[in-house]
């Protein structure tokens, strides 16, 4: 079983269709599957529903798919810093389901774990609870949230071995881990593909069973949204 594809377009071959739901990893521009997003843009597939914590920024990340009007609906917790998103949203051209960040992560995790719904106290008594079942457990109210079972997951990892075992680096893990399990099929792009046996089996973040297709995305020019630094003080 060969999981490694030569480029992002071939890794997505046969998987894309209009109206599909995609779960995407990343937080802001950190750990976003940028090669796969580019390939989805180039494919022209449209009417996408995308579950992703953020929607990229203007012309970076998922912002690229917004610009080309390929997205019908976003399921996200935070969509600031994105002018084109704002324009489409205010013009009623883009549907947005605001979902609390932790609820979104758990919806992806649960969907991938065969759990169609779960109760959470996040959002009780707020707009998020509207139309949702409320159930009282031990004197406290909880709302029913649905798991997300996407048609496709797109994630960005640091290293993967040739069998698809994958690890992340620092805070680039974020939504990539739950997103990986949410889709019926997961395509991963990574910075480095290493021979089987190179990664410590005790340290795998996403076991190979989830990663069906793998593409080497390097070299990356990782973007930083807000550069904050401190000065070295003289010793």
Partner 1 sequence: MVWDRNQMAARAAMELKDGYYVNLGIGIPTLVANNIPEGMTVTLQSENGMLGIGPFPYTDEVDADLINAGKQTISELPSSSYFSSSDSFAMIRGGHIDLTVLGAMEISEGGDIANWMIPGKMIKGMGGAMDLVAGVKRIIVVMEHSSKNGDPKFIPECTLPLTGKNVVDMIITDLAVFQRPDHDSPFKLIELAPGVTAEEVRSKTTANYVE
| Residue among 5 and 98 whose Cβ is closer to partner 1 | 98
Among 15, 21, 27, 217, binds partner 1 (CB under 8 A): 27
The yes or no reply on residue 122 touching partner 1 (CB under 8 A) is yes
Query: 153: cis peptide before it, omega within 30°?
Result: no
The yes or no reply on residue 228 touching partner 1 (CB under 8 A) is yes
Among 61, 63, 111, 123, binds partner 1 (CB under 8 A): 123
Among 108, 188, 190, 214, binds partner 1 (CB under 8 A): 108
| Contact (Cβ atoms closer than 8 angstroms) between residue 193 and residue 215 | no
Residue 53 CB, shortest distance to partner 1, in Å, is: 7
Among 2, 14, 91, 127, binds partner 1 (CB under 8 A): 127
Going residue by residue from 51 to 80, which x/- string records binding to partner 1, judged by CB under 8 A?
Answer: --x----------------------xxxxx
Give the tokens for residue 192.
Answer: 């480095």
Which residues in the 172-191 window bind partner 1 by CB under 8 A?
Answer: 172-178
Among 58, 86, 162, 192, binds partner 1 (CB under 8 A): 86
Residue 220 CB, shortest distance to partner 1, in Å, is: 9
CB atoms within 10 A of CB 46: 16
Q: Which has the closest alpha carbon to 24: 60, 65, 58, 53?
A: 53
Residue 122 CB, shortest distance to partner 1, in Å, is: 4
Q: Which has the closest alpha carbon to 161: 189, 204, 187, 194?
A: 194
DSSP for residue 101:
H
CA distances from 49 to 20, 52, 108, 149, 191 (A): 6, 10, 14, 12, 27
| Residue among 5 and 78 whose Cβ is closer to partner 1 | 78
The yes or no reply on residue 88 touching partner 1 (CB under 8 A) is no
Q: Which has the closest alpha carbon to 187: 40, 41, 72?
A: 40
Q: By three-state DSSP, how is residue 177 classified?
A: helix
- List Cβ neighbours of 83 (8 Å cut-off, separation of 6 or more): 58
Q: Return residues touching partner 1 (CB under 8 A).
A: 27-31, 53, 76-80, 86, 89-90, 96, 98, 100-106, 108-109, 120-128, 158, 168-178, 205, 222-232
């Amino acid at each position: 079983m060969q999981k490694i594809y030569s480029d992002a377009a071939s890794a997505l071959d046969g998987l894309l269709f209009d109206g599909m739901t995609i779960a995407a990893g990343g937080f802001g521009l950190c750990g976003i599957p940028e090669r796969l997003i580019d390939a989805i843009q180039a494919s022209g597939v449209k009417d996408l529903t995308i579950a992703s914590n953020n929607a990229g920024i203007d012309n970076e990340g998922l912002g690229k798919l917004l610009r080309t009007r390929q997205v019908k609906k976003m399921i996200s917790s935070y969509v600031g810093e994105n002018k084109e998103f704002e324009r489409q949203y205010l013009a009623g051209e883009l549907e947005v389901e605001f979902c609390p960040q932790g609820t979104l992560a758990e919806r992806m995790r649960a969907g991938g774990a065969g759990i169609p719904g779960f109760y959470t106290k996040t959002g009780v008594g707020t707009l998020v609870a509207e139309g949702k079942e409320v159930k009282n457990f031990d004197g406290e109210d909880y709302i029913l949230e649905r798991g997300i079972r996407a048609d496709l997951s797109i994630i960005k990892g640091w290293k993967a071995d040739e069998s698809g075992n994958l690890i992340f680096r620092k805070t680039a893990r974020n939504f990539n881990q739950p997103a990986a399990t949410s889709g019926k099929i997961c395509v991963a792009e990574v910075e480095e593909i290493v021979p089987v046996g190179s990664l410590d089996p005790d340290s795998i973040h996403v076991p190979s069973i989830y990663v069906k297709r793998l593409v080497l995305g390097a070299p990356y020019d990782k973007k930083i949204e807000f550069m904050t630094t401190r000065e070295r003080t003289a010793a």
